[in-house]
A and B are shown apart, each in its own frame.
Chain A
C-alpha cells in the first residue's frame, strides 16, 4: 500500500515538473486562443477562439513564408541525404590516404558556428547573386547539418559486418551494388533519422535566412515572424498564433525521432 502511494507520488511529481517546465509554451498556446485581448487576467473566463489563427492565415504573409521555409528545409533534406549516406559509406568502407584528415575536417564543420560564417556567406552570396534564393539557402542548411548525419550513418555502417560486403562481392556485386542493394536497406533507419534532424535544425534557423534573404516575399517563416513582431508590436494574439504554427513542424518531427537524438549527437554510442 505504502509502495503504491509512493509510486503515485513520483508520477504526480514528474507530471508537475513537466508542466512547470512547459509553462512558457503552454502559455503561448493558451494566450493565442484568447482572441485579441491577450492581457486579460490569467484565470478569468476562458472562451477559446481561433480568430487569431484565421487572421494569420488570411491577412498575413505567413502561408507563403511557411511554404518558403518548406522549400529551403526540403532542399536541405534532399541535398544532404544522398551526400551524407555516400560519405558515411566512404569513411566506413574505403581505405585511402588522408582519411583521418578528411574525417577530422567533417568534425570541424560540426563545430563551426553559423555566427562566424554569416558575414563570409553574405559576401559569397553577393558574389554569386544568390540572395533570395531559397534553394541556395537550403544548400547552406545542408552544409551545416551534414556532419551530424555523416557521424550517425557511418556509425550504422561500422556496425554492419564486413562479411556482408564480402559475400555480395563474391556474388559479383560492384561497390555501387553492394551499397545500394545490400547496405542501404540496412541503414535506412539512420538515414531517416538524419533526414528528420536536418529538417528540424534547418527549420530552427533565423540567422542565415535573415541575412541571406532580403525580399519580404521570400522570407522564411521564422524571419517573417520576427518582422511581423517588429511591425505589429501590439498584436500579440497574431504573434503568438504564428509562433504556435511555426513550432508545429519541428515539434512533431522532433518528438517522433527523439530516441535517435542522443545517438546522433554523441556519435560514439554504439547502436
Chain B
C-alpha cells in the first residue's frame, strides 16, 4: 500500500524480486497474519471504497434524500415544509390499512405455498435418480424467467377459455374472470406467485437435506421411526438454521415482490390486489403524487428493516469477518 515500507517495494507489473521487501524492512510475519497491520484504513478505503461509492450513490443518498423530502409537499415546482402531513394523509386515506392487510395476505399465502411445495419437492428429489440430472432445469424454470414472463404466462392461463378454464370445465360450465373478480384475484395471483418462487425453497432445502448424514436416518429407521417422525424429529431440526435463513429472505422478497401482482392485475380490480409496493407505484406514476409516494417509501423501508433486523443481526455472527 502507498507508504507501506514492506509492500511498496515491488511495483505492480515489475518482475518479482525474491525477498526484496523482506530484506529491507525486516518482515513482520505476525502483522501479516493479523492482516498486514499498519496503514490499514488507507488500504480498506482503496479496496472497499469503490463498492461503497456505488452503495452510497444508488442507495444511501437516495434514501436519505427521500426521507428529507417526505416532510415536504411540492406543488407546481415549489416545495414547502409540511412536517408529518404526508404521513397523516396516508394513514387517513383509509387505503393504508387495506394495502397493509393485502400485503400480509399475499405474503402469508405465497410464503406457505412456496415453503410447502419447496419442501415436498426437496424431500422427493433427495434420493438418487438418474433422471434428476436431466429434469432439474425444468423445476428451476419458474425461478429463472423474468417476472413479466411468468405474469404473462399466468394471465394467459387465466384468460377466458384459457388452460385453467379448460381443466376446470368438468366442474365449472363457464370459468369466472379469474383476475377481475374481487374475491378470486388474490388467490389467483398467490398461485402464480407460489409457482414462481418455489424453486428457491426447493434448491435451498435440497442442499440442506443432502448434508444430513445417512447414518442418522438409518439409525432412526432401525429404531422403528416412520417417515413423519424422521421429518419432524431429524430432518427439520437439522435444517433449523437453513430454514430460518431461507424464510427470512423469502419473506422479505415476497412482501416486496412487485412484478407478480402488478403485471397481472395492475393492482385491480378496484384496489383489490393493491399491496403496499403497488400502492406506492400507482401513487407516484398513475396519480403523480410524489410527496405522498415518498412518505410511503419511508414507511415501507421502516417495515422491511423492522422485520429484517433479527435476521441481519443473527447473520452478522455467522459471517464473522
Chain A residues packing against B (C-beta within 8 Å) = 10-11, 13-15, 17-19, 21-25, 27-28, 31, 39, 42, 79, 82-84, 86-87, 89-91, 93-97, 99-100, 102-109, 111-124, 139-140, 142-144, 146, 150-151, 162, 165-166, 169-177, 180, 200, 203-207, 211, 222, 225-226, 229, 236, 239-240, 243-244, 246-247, 250-251, 254-255, 258, 261-262, 265-269
**Inter-chain contacts of B154 with A (CB < 8 A):** 24
Of residues 282 to 321 in B, which have CB atoms within 8 Å of A's CB atoms?
Answer: 284-285, 290, 293-294, 296-297, 300-301, 304-305, 308, 311-312, 315-316, 318-319, 321
Expressed in whole angstroms, the Cα–Cα distance for A169 and B55 within the complex equals 32
Write out the residue numbers on chain A whose beta carbons fall within 8 Å of the beta carbon of B141.
Answer: 22, 25, 251
Is A265 a contact of B156 with CB atoms below 8 Å? Answer: no
Asked whether any CB of chain A lies closer than 8 Å to the CB of B6, the reply is yes
Q: A28-B156, A240-B153 are in contact. List 12 more A-B contacts (CB 8 A).
A: A22-B142, A25-B142, A87-B48, A94-B40, A103-B321, A107-B312, A115-B280, A119-B297, A123-B290, A150-B51, A175-B43, A258-B136
A-facing residues in B137-170 (Cβ within 8 Å): 137-150, 152-157, 161-163, 166
In contact, B8 and A116 (Cβ under 8 angstroms)? no
- A270 CB to closest chain B CB (Å) equals 11
Residues of A with C-beta under 8 A to B36: 93-95, 175
Nearest residue (CB) in B for A95 is: B35
Of the residues B136, B144, B200, contact of A251 by C-beta under 8 Å: B144
* 24 A–B pairs (Cβ distance < 8 Å), ordered by A: A11-B129, A14-B132, A19-B138, A27-B153, A27-B163, A79-B54, A87-B48, A90-B43, A107-B315, A109-B55, A117-B62, A120-B62, A123-B69, A124-B62, A124-B65, A143-B54, A169-B27, A172-B18, A204-B145, A206-B146, A239-B152, A251-B137, A255-B140, A266-B245
B225 in contact (CB, < 8 A): no
From known contacts A120-B66, A169-B6, infer whether A28 and B44 are also in contact, taking CB-CB under 8 Å: no
Q: How far is the CA of A170 from the CA of B231 in the complex (A)?
A: 53
The 8 Å CB contact of B19, one of A82, A106, A171, A258, is A171
- Rounded to whole angstroms, the CA-CA distance of A90 and B290 in the bound complex is 39
User: Known contacts A90-B44, A113-B304, A175-B43; is A243 also within 8 Å of B153 by CB?
Assistant: yes
A268 to B244, CA, bound (A): 13
B249 interface residue per 8 A CB criterion: yes
One of B1, B54, B121, B301 near A146 (C-beta < 8 A): B54
- Chain A residues within an 8 Å CB radius of B321: 91, 99-100, 103
**B58: Cβ under 8 A from any A Cβ:** yes
Residue with the greatest number of chain A CB neighbours at <10 A, chosen from B145, B149, B315: B149
Closest 9 CB pairs of A and B: A95-B35, A120-B62, A90-B47, A113-B256, A115-B277, A143-B58, A120-B66, A254-B144, A87-B51
Expressed in whole angstroms, the Cα–Cα distance for A11 and B131 within the complex equals 6
Indicate whether B33 reaches chain A with its CB closer than 8 angstroms.
yes
Question: Taking the complex as formed, is B263 at the interface, i.e. its CB lies under 8 A from any CB of chain A?
Answer: yes
- CB-CB < 8 A to A10: which residues of B? 127, 129
Tell me whether B125 is interfacial, beta carbon within 8 Å. yes
Known interface pairs A28-B153, A90-B44, A120-B294; A14-B263 also in contact (CB < 8 Å): no
A255 to chain B, nearest CB (A): 5
B51-107 interface (Cβ within 8 A of A): 51-52, 54-55, 57-59, 61-63, 65-66, 69
Complex formed: what's the CA distance from A28 to B142 in Å?
Answer: 12
Q: Which residue of chain B has its CB nearest to the CB of A126? A: B290
B131's partner among A14, A120, A144 (CB-CB below 8 A) is A14
Of B9-17, B175-183, B215-223, the stretch lying at the interface with chain A is: B9-17
**Secondary structure at chain A's binding surface: helix, strand, loop or mixed?**
helix
Residues of the A chain whose Cβ atoms lie less than 8 Å from the Cβ of B7:
169, 174-175
Contact A121 B62 (CB under 8 A): yes
Measured between beta carbons, the chain B residues less than 8 angstroms from A119 are 66, 280, 284, 290, 293-294, 296-297
The CA of A15 and the CA of B136, in the complex, are separated in Å by 9
Query: When chains A and B are docked, how far (Å) is the Cα of A211 from the Cα of B113?
Result: 30
A178 to B238, CA, bound (A): 40
Taking the closest CB of chain B, its distance from the CB of A267, in whole angstroms, is 7
Assess whether A104 is in contact with B19, with CB atoms less than 8 Å apart. no
- Which partner residue on chain A sits nearest B9 by CB separation? A172
Distance, CA A114 to CA B293, complexed state (A): 14
CB distance from A169 to the nearest CB of B (A): 6
Bound together, the chains give a CA A203 to CA B139 distance in angstroms of 19
Question: Which of these, A83, A102, A108, contacts B50 with CB under 8 Å?
Answer: A83
Q: Closest CB of chain A to B56's CB: distance in Å?
A: 9
Query: Please, which residue of chain B has its CB at the minimum distance from the CB of A19?
Result: B138
Give the chain A neighbours of B203 by CB distance below 8 A. Answer: 258, 261-262
Q: Is the CB of A255 within 8 A of B145?
A: no
**Do the beta carbons of B1 and A172 come within 8 Å of each other?**
no
Q: Are B55 and A105 in contact (CB under 8 A)?
A: yes
- Cα of A169 to Cα of B305 in the assembled complex, Å: 42
- Is the beta-carbon distance between A31 and B66 smaller than 8 angstroms? no
User: Which residue in B58, B121, B319 is a CB contact (below 8 Å) of A268?
Assistant: B319
| A245 CA / B30 CA spacing, docked (Å) | 56
Min distance, Cβ A78 to any Cβ of chain B, angstroms? 13
Query: How many Å lie between the Cα of A265 and that of B161 in the bound state?
Result: 40
CB distance from B147 to the nearest CB of A (A): 6
Q: Report which of A165, A171, A180 forms a contact with B18, defined as CB distance below 8 A.
A: A171
- A26 vs B137: C-alpha distance when bound (angstroms): 13
State A169–B5 Cα separation when bound (angstroms): 12
